[in-house]
Structure formats: C-alpha cells, structure tokens
Chains A and B, each alone.
Chain A
C-alpha cells in the first residue's frame, strides 16, 4: 500500500508540474496584459503601464519569469495578484472555504440523491415511475449547468422570491440576525447553487446506479440470497445495493474535476464568492498569478480526489488488493 501511495504521489506531482507549466505559458501567450485590460473603458496611460510592468518584473523575458515563477511555487509563493494588490495565496485562501462548502454540498446531492433515485428505478424497473425518472434524469443530464442555474435563479429567486438570488449571505441583515437566523440565511443562499451543481451529477449517478443495480440483481449471489429465504427488501439492500455501490466509488473520484469546472459557471451565475468566480475575474483581468494559482490548486484537488477514490476502492473491494 505504501509503495502504491508513493507512486501515485509521484505521478500527482508530475501532473501538477505540467498543469503549472501549461497554465503559465497559456496565460502569458494570451493577448492583452493585466495593466491595459484592468479598467472598464478608461484607457491607462502608456508610461503608467510600462512602470507597472517594471514593478512586477514583467519586462523580463518570459523564460526568466517562468523560472522565477517555478522557484516561487516551490517556496509556496503563488505570486502577486495585480487586480487585488495582494498575494494571490491570500485572495484564494479567502475563497477556498466557499468553494469547498458548495462542492461538498453538491457532492452530497450528487451521490445521496443519485444513488437513491438509481436504486429506486432498479427496484421499480419498467414501471411508469422508472420511465418518468429516466426521462427526468436524462433531461437534467443534458442541460448546460449555467442554463439550469439561470432558470432556477429566475424562477425561485426573481419570480417566486422564495430564495436569494446570489451571494453567500445577505450582508444587509446578516450581522443583526441571531445565530439560528444566520445559519438559515447561509443555508438559504446555498440551496440554489448547490442544487444547480448537484442535480447534474445526481442525474448521471442515478443512471449509472440503475444500470449497476440491474446487473447485480441478475447475479448468482443475489439468486442464492433469495433462495435462502431472505426478504426481497433484505436482498435488495444488504446484497444488491451494497455491491452495486462499489463502482460509485470510481464515480466519486471522477466527479471532482466536474464539480470544480461546474463551480466556475455556478459561482459566476450565483455571485458565489469562491475559487471559480475568482478564476473568471482573474481571466478577464489577466491576473496571471491568480489564474495559475487557481489552476494548480484545482489540479492538486483533482489528483488528491482521484487518489482518495483509488484508496477507497482498495479498501472496500479486497479483490483489487490481491490483484496487484
């Protein structure tokens, strides 16, 4: 196990290095620069732009900037945010908790709702309920995530006024609420973005889980369990569902990159102050340090998520341990 983890960590370091390098050159090769594109229409004097470029070492050759960038990353320094006038790490650190909260809630919806719906469909295979849920999950799975977000926002936020339209809290009243009121305020702001992000994943999980359940139900050990006189409910829950859940662990690992890329759109639509929204702002403003730092952190989260999924799989399925 130790050798396996070491090997995977070495692979992970290689992937992160490649992402860091690729992102650096992509953002530096893209047209425009942070000092001329930072304003919204007001032109910045050329001498001011030149001075800013000197201040931040951007007048140096790209390879010099790259080597300095790599050296800084090794020391844990992600560079300076031109837009926020402070270290990029500081800007990101303030946003990471919001993204993690959104992603974690979406993950719960993705697997909680997805597994339940998939299992229910398998249990009622061929029924009108199964057909209706198949249609619903396929429809959700086919929708662009930003479109679903905008529709939910317009319906529940603007038209019905049931839920807040954006942000993580209502700053105008939040400081004056009781602790329970503050919690409610936070939860209310979380509902729409988490649903938007989680429902797409839940639809995919449900379809996957349904197929997996139907395959497991047809296997010998399930037939044996029935022959031993177990109740249909016991067979379904203790034997079929438990075994059908194994592949979901793989899905868990694969869902990390989808959640992170989805959060970029969802955070933009719902003004959710997380890494995704920061990344969008940074890309528009050519804030190089923030763009590269977000890419590196996202890469680390994805490779660690996949490593975690592999480890979980080895824990829950002993066959994978003996196969190596």
Chain B
C-alpha cells in the first residue's frame, strides 16, 4: 500500500486504526529497501543460479573470499571479504587467511574446510555450475588449518587471484555435504539458505518477493539498511510504475523514457552505473550461413566489413538510444573492464569514404535506386535482433537508416530470444546483434573471439590475434598486460569482425532518502548493505519491525 493509497483505502474500510500500526524502529539501523526487478531469482544457492537476480541476491547472503575493488581491476585492488589477507607463496600458489569472526547465520564459524568444500562443489560436473569453466585452472584447494586455505593453480597466469576469489561464493559444508550433488540445486536449502553475508534469509513468496534481514552481528560491520525486500514483476513497465509510485525504492536500470521523470521528482534519484559490464556489437558472419565451408559472400571480405563499419555513425546511434549516459564501445570489451581505459584505433565514421571503398570493390548504384549493386545483385544483408532488447532494436533501426545513406540495404529480423540464440549458435545468419555481459576480466575476449571459441558465432579466425590473446593472458604484471592486451585489441579492431556499438551505462533508480549510495558495474546492489536512511528521512516502511 502506498502512503497516498493508505488514507483512501482506510477511509473505505473504516479501519483507519487497523491500517496505521505504530512504527517501532528508531535510530540509525532502520531502513527498508524495496528492490523491484522484472525477473525472479531461480534459486538462492550461488553455485546453482544462472540468473542475474539470483547472483545479486546471493551476494547479500553469501560472501566471496575477496572481491574486485571500485576500479574493477582483475589484477590488483581487491577488497577483503571472508579472507582478511592473502599472499602468493610461489608463482602459482596463493594462501588465504580467513577472518576469525566470520560466521554462518546459524552461528557456526566459517572455516577453511568450507572453502575446500565450495571449490569441490563448483568444479563438480554433475552440479554443472555456470562458473565451473572459470575454476578449472585451479589444480587444488587445501586447508592448512581451520583459518588458512591454499589455492594451487595448474599454471601461472594473469587472473589467478581473480579466479580464486571472484566466481565462488563460499558454501556451508556442515549443511550441504550430505546432500547428493545431483540434488543440490533442487534441495530446499536453495529456497531457504543459511549464508554468511550481511543479510540473512527471511522468506520467499513465490512469484512475488524475497525478504532479507540484516545480520546485526555481521563481522565486516552492521548493515545500514535493516530489511531488503526483492519484489518481482514480469514486466519492466510494471517495475517502473512501482518505482514511480513510491512502492519500490530501487530499480536496477531505468529505461531512457523514465529517466527525465525520475530526475524531475524530488523523492527519486537516478544513480549511474559506472559503467556496466555489457557491450553490444553487430557481428558479421564470416562463413556462408548456407554452406559453412564457404566464406560469406559479403562478410568474407575484410574490406566490405570495414566499409560497412565506416557507414555506421556509432556516436549518434548511442546518443539517440542511451542519451547522455551512452558510451561508444572501443572494441570487444565493456567500458567497465580495466583494459578499456586505453585508447584504441577505431574505424572512422565516413559515409562518403564507405561509398568510395565499396566502389573500388565494384559496388555501384547502376540502376539509380539509391542502393549499391554488383553483377545485378544488391548490396544487402539481414541483421538478427532479439525482440527482448529495446536498446538493440532501436540501435538496429538507426543503423539501418545510416547504412541506407551509404547505399547498403540492411533488413532487420526481430526474433524471440531463444530463436535468436539458436540461430547464433548454428552460425545461421548474416549479421547478429549480440550483447555480452561478462565479468570484469578481459579473459572474456578469449571466450568470444579466438578461433574455435564456443561463443565465436561469427567464426572469426586470425592466428596472430589468438597468439596475442594468449600472450596477454600470460602477462603477470599490470604494465606488460596492458601492452599485450592493447596489441590484441588493435589486431581484432583492424580485422573488423563486428561493429562495436555501445557500452551501456544505465542509471539505477534509487529513492532519495538513502545515503551512501553507489552502484557497482557487475552488481547494482553489491554495496547496498553500506547504504543507510538517516533518521530524519525515514518513511513508514523504514520504521516497522517485528
């Protein structure tokens, strides 16, 4: 019930007293944050979830050993969580010391055995965790004593510390080790977990909400917000309406059309992500979709790809779609990845230049219809776009018009997300509007772009680039890593396997009564436990307590 709704409804029911219970919470540790999202968590067991919202809630319940810092570097600047300190014992061994006060919410201490158990669960193929491939470079995890745990890697590489701490949320061995691995995801623990984080689980109303309560004895400091309620809608417009109506306090990403309204409201605030881990790109298929043994009739030629990329005015496109918060992508990486802070050579926007380049290749407007053709065939291709993404649909429409000015005909096929992914995996497309949301590590470049990689749907292949990526991943100091990643990105940008379109920088919506608000690129509520509501700004739902 909203504050505005309360008097109206109470009047209707003649139950004013019943509708207005006495709020009882006072002081600095009150505060209720109602977070609204257009998707529900699948399960609250971090090793089993595959949903962003599952990870987001899970991160308030379960801690990692450490986490990346505000700069999102995967090489340095890590912040302690369950581990109070760590050190490299040799070039492929890291020793972690657990915080002595870390406790599970049932009171049991967090021990090195929990960490060993966690690694064993994450790498178990039966559990099939989405993070499993990222921990397979770890050869062994052993407990030296109850507070000390040692990670041994297969080989030395750049992301050893990152892979040791970032992908796994430590799980309670004393509660989970008797459950068969195949039944772990479906065990009731996943819908009523006992964690070790700043919040403890209270209840899950299926299809509606999940409620968490602050652990007042949390060893890293008492959370400033006492209750967090996650409310689920099936539709982003309903989520926005709840936020605008004051029924929700936090909305992860405001649609551009809601941004102005939020900025005009005194009680609401738009908080920019800084920026997100997503980048969008128009991928060229380099193999003929009808016969994968042949090069694509258009995109098999680098010069054609480059000419089409030249006809795309990405700056205008990004401004039109994301407004002032949009970021033009510099390469195959999100703007939040630390290697994106470098400058990289880009294909320049030049419509006339694109036409000239295509003319050299024999593409001319011979019939005066405004579109280029060669040997009687028009220069045209089809772009697949998922109907679930407004940003990609709008970007595609703008790109279509920009290419038309250069004489290139691009049709747009809007597909259901499942069909879109299936066509991508089958390499059955001309061009594919992808969006990648990965973790902060540049290792994602290897997963999407090296020859034969599982997500390399465009079948881009350049052995020199592959070697450059391998060398970059092997660099163990920051300066060398920067230099080598720059070389790899320069190579792939020169090959133009895709047009890098945007790195979105969305705004979260947050009620203005919260202070200390910051939004981290990889999880918009990672720091929520450090937010607080000053006593003078509390509203009714902040004051209610059991």
A→B interface (CB under 8 Å)? 30-33, 35-48, 51-52, 55, 80, 83-86, 91, 94-95, 98, 150, 153-154, 157-158, 160-173, 175-181, 183-185, 187-188, 267-271, 273-274, 277-278, 280-281, 284, 286
Contacts and interface: CB of A to CB of B under 8 A. Distances in A.
B84 interface: no
Contact of A286 (B19, B234, B418): B418
A286 B422 CA distance: 13
A166 B242 CA distance: 7
A181 B32 contact: no
Interface string B408-441: 0000000111110111010000000001111000
Interface residues of B, number: 83
A167 B5 CA distance: 14
A158 B5 CA distance: 10
A39 B278 CA distance: 13
A42 B244 CA distance: 28
A173 to B, nearest CB: 6
B416 A180 contact: no
Contact of A173 (B207, B233, B244, B544): B544
Nearest to A153: B241
Contact of A40 (B17, B43, B51): B51
B209 interface: yes
A55 B207 CA distance: 25
Contacts of B43: 84-85
Contacts, number: 228
B13 interface: yes
A274 B205 CA distance: 12
20 contacts: A31-B418, A31-B422, A32-B421, A40-B52, A46-B454, A51-B126, A80-B186, A95-B207, A153-B241, A158-B241, A163-B5, A171-B208, A172-B544, A173-B21, A173-B541, A176-B544, A181-B21, A184-B18, A271-B233, A271-B234
A185 B1 contact: yes
B206 interface: yes
Contacts of A166: 233, 238, 241-242, 247
Nearest to B22: A176
B300 interface: no
B133 A171 contact: no
A180 B541 contact: no
Contacts of B417: 32, 37, 284
Nearest to B419: A31
A35 B209 CA distance: 24
Nearest to B23: A176
B182 A55 contact: yes
Given A150-B237, A181-B21, A284-B417, A39 B50 contact: yes
A188 B9 contact: yes
Given A161-B5, A187-B9, 8 more contacts: A42-B438, A55-B126, A94-B207, A95-B206, A165-B238, A177-B18, A271-B234, A271-B235
Contact of A47 (B48, B133, B247): B133
Contacts of A37: 417-418, 421
B404 interface: no
A184 B51 contact: no
B163 interface: no
Interface in B9-68: 9-10, 12-13, 15, 17-21, 32, 34, 39-40, 42-43, 48, 50-52
